[in-house]
């Protein structure tokens, strides 16, 4: 019996044509599945709506400004800009300006010196977000006096027909919103 097995293995000269065809067929099916899956994912990625990244940017901006406003004991309205106490350095106040050509929103730091807000100089400017076409942060006024609500208006470059209007409640006394 061992002679037959040994003789069979010695006479093995390679694979038969049928074995090669079956192997190539299996490989073709695996490659078809792989490329089909890649094609499917490419199609799904191209269908994802990337025209509205503004929702996450708006959420970030809203939460950031809300935290700053809520942690600020005093707000200043000076020269049409709202100054909010900085969370990281409480001796500084931040105000925000948009660069209309680049769409970047910058945070500027100021310091109160003898009741007057002055820029701190070097390091006063940092980028907060991008892709904006309009930005406004103003206190809501009733009879010319702040009523405790801060109005945030934002418009993104990729969605020029939509202006987001958000009311942020200032938890402090509205009398702490000082107009200069």
Q: What is the pLDDT of residue 5?
A: 53
Q: What is the pLDDT of residue 63?
A: 92
In this structure, the answer to whether residues 43 and 109 fall within a common structural domain is no
Q: What is the pLDDT of residue 106?
A: 92
In this structure, the answer to whether residues 16 and 92 fall within a common structural domain is no
In this structure, the answer to whether residues 42 and 79 fall within a common structural domain is no
In this structure, the answer to whether residues 13 and 58 fall within a common structural domain is no
Per-10-residue mean pLDDT, the chain, length 180: 52 78 93 89 75 74 91 87 88 90 90 84 83 90 87 87 89 84
How many domains are contained in the chain? 2
Residues spanned by the domain of 138: 54-179
Distance CA 157, CA 143 (A): 34
Cβ count near 148 (within 10 Å): 17
Q: What is the pLDDT of residue 29?
A: 94
In this structure, the answer to whether residues 73 and 15 fall within a common structural domain is no
Q: What is the pLDDT of residue 172?
A: 85
In this structure, the answer to whether residues 38 and 83 fall within a common structural domain is no
Distance CA 99, CA 120 (A): 20
In this structure, the answer to whether residues 73 and 146 fall within a common structural domain is yes
In this structure, the answer to whether residues 77 and 42 fall within a common structural domain is no
């Amino acid at each position: 019996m061992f002679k037959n097995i040994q003789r069979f293995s010695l006479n093995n000269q390679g694979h038969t044509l049928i074995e090669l065809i079956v192997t190539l067929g299996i490989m073709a099916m695996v490659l078809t599945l792989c490329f089909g899956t890649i094609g499917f994912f490419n199609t799904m990625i191209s269908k994802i709506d990337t025209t509205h990244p503004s929702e996450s940017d708006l959420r970030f901006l809203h939460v950031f400004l809300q935290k700053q406003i809520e942690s600020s004991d005093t707000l200043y309205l000076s020269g049409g800009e709202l100054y909010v106490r900085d969370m990281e350095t409480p001796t500084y106040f931040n105000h925000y300006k948009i660069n209309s050509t680049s769409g970047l929103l910058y945070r500027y730091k100021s310091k109160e010196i003898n009741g007057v807000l002055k820029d701190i100089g070097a390091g006063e400017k940092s980028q907060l977000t991008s892709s904006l076409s309009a930005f406004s942060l103003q206190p809501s006024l009733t009879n010319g006096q702040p009523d405790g609500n801060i109005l945030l208006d934002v418009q993104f470059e990729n969605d020029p027909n939509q202006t987001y209007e958000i009311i942020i409640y200032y938890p402090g006394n509205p009398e702490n919103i000082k107009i200069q």
